[in-house]
Amino acid sequence: MEISSSHNSSSSMMWFFKDRGFDDNSIQGMFRKCKRLEVVHQEKANENWEYLRSIGIQERKLPSTVSKCPKILALGLNEKIVPMVECLKTLGTKPHEVASAIAKFPHILSHSVEEKLCPLLAFFQALGVPEKQIGKMILLNPRLISYSIETKMAEIVDFLAGLGLNKDGMIGKVLVKDPYIMGYSVEKRLGPTSQFLKSIGLAEKDLQVVAMNFPSILSRDVNKLLVPNHAYLKKCGFQDRQIVDLVVGFPPILIKSIQNSLEPRIKFLVDVMGRQVDEVVDYPCFFRHGLKKKLQLRHKFLKQRNLSCSLSEMLDCNEKKFQMKFGL
């Protein structure tokens, strides 16, 4: 009798998925991921599906959302899903933020409000993260709820404190800027990256400035990105101390595409603008500005009027101030 009931549920769920456009491979994959689907009644799955649609998950995104975490069709709607959604709504400030977070990481619905979400909120509050910012972090990176506070998160906090970021809520500010840093391994990624930055000459204070202003550099791959970009800067003729100044002044210089970003700007600086390459040391944010939208247009304007100025005077202002400054 029980076997027959289970078979009927499984069969009805097959039709449930087929009616919603899932192919056989996807359906089999979901049954493998979640054995509970074999005993879920179609009515329950439909109720959960309709609720997810009612909170703003688009119809076209529902299949991929459910494929990532088929278990959400087996969860108790009022016992598990609704309480988590209602709590997440209190963290959001914009429409569809909660729906977007769930579509990104539907597993968030399988976690307990009391056992996972509340301790996570308390953890970030203890680090000095303002309540509104905590909401933004969790909705931007909902995977945070799946990490262990005692092991993974505490290890990241200890690592950041070891860099000297242990005053005035500095760690909290780093996490707000880059909530994704919590997903990386200290041993395999964050540690080696910080060691590389030290090896090219960044002092502890330099590393703190870089981590505060652009923390995501700590989670980038040393060999794939940082080493080639550092080698390119050396090849351009920058001295070690100058490279440190460039990295501290504009950390993304170590992760920007050489071919699509750094090289075209250096070529334009030297070949078209006729400037010395080391002028960017005084204004590392030169590499932040768009080549076509800003550099070329402003250089052309100054050249036509036979005007000369430093890179910062040319670029470190909006269009209105630029025009006022140079007499338009």
CA pair distance 284, 1, nearest whole angstrom: 74
C-alpha span between 186 and 33 (Å, rounded): 30
Closest CA to 117 of 152, 85, 94: 85
Query: Are the CB atoms for 98 and 92 separated by under 8 Å?
Result: yes
Mind listing the pLDDT tens digit for each residue in 52-73? Answer: 999 999 999 999 999 999 999 9
Please say whether the beta carbons of 66 and 26 come within 8 A: no
Neighbours of 128 (CB within 10 A): 15
**pLDDT greater than 80 at residue 74:** yes
Pairwise CA distance, residues 195 & 226, whole Å: 12
Is the distance from CB of 227 to CB of 196 less than 8 angstroms?
yes
The number of residues in the chain equals: 328
pLDDT score, position 9: 62
The reported pLDDT for the residue numbered 323 is 86
Q: Does the pLDDT of residue 11 top 70, yes or no?
A: yes
* Coil, strand or helix at 201: coil
Contacts of 266 by beta carbon, 8 Å cutoff, 6+ apart: 236, 277
Based on its alpha-carbon atoms, the radius of gyration of the chain, rounded to whole angstroms, reads 26
What is the pLDDT at residue 135? 93
pLDDT for position 7: 52
Residue 54 class from Cβ within 10 Å (0-12 exposed, 13-18 middle, 19+ buried)?
exposed
Q: Is 129 in contact with 101 (CB distance < 8 Å)?
A: no
User: Coil, strand, or helix at residue 205?
Assistant: helix
pLDDT tens, position by position, 126-135: 999 998 899 9
| Structure confidence at residue 1 as a pLDDT band (50, 70, 90) | very low
pLDDT given at position 328: 60
Mean pLDDT over each residue of the chain, to the nearest integer: 93
**237 Cβ partners below 8 Å, 6+ apart?**
277, 278
How does DSSP assign 12-53, residue by residue? Answer: HHHHHHHHTT--HHHHHHHHHH-GGGGG--HHHHHHHHHHHH
Condensed to tens digits (0 to 9), the pLDDT of residues 183-236 reads: 999 999 999 999 999 999 999 999 999 999 999 999 999 999 999 999 999 999
Tokens of residue 25, six digits: 């491979």
- Distance (Å, whole) CA 5 – CA 88: 36
| pTM of the predicted protein model | 0.87
Eight-class DSSP state of 237: T
Distance CA 52, CA 284 (A): 47
Q: What average pLDDT does range 121-148 have in this prediction?
A: 94
Alpha-carbon distance values, 194 to 169, 220, 221, 227 (Å): 20, 10, 11, 13
Terminal-residue alpha carbon distance, the chain: 86
DSSP state of 288: G
Cα separations in angstroms, 68 against 31, 65, 81: 12, 5, 16
> How do residues 237-276 score in pLDDT, each as one tens digit?
999 999 999 999 999 999 999 999 999 999 999 999 999 9
CA–CA separation, 308 vs 322, rounded Å? Answer: 13
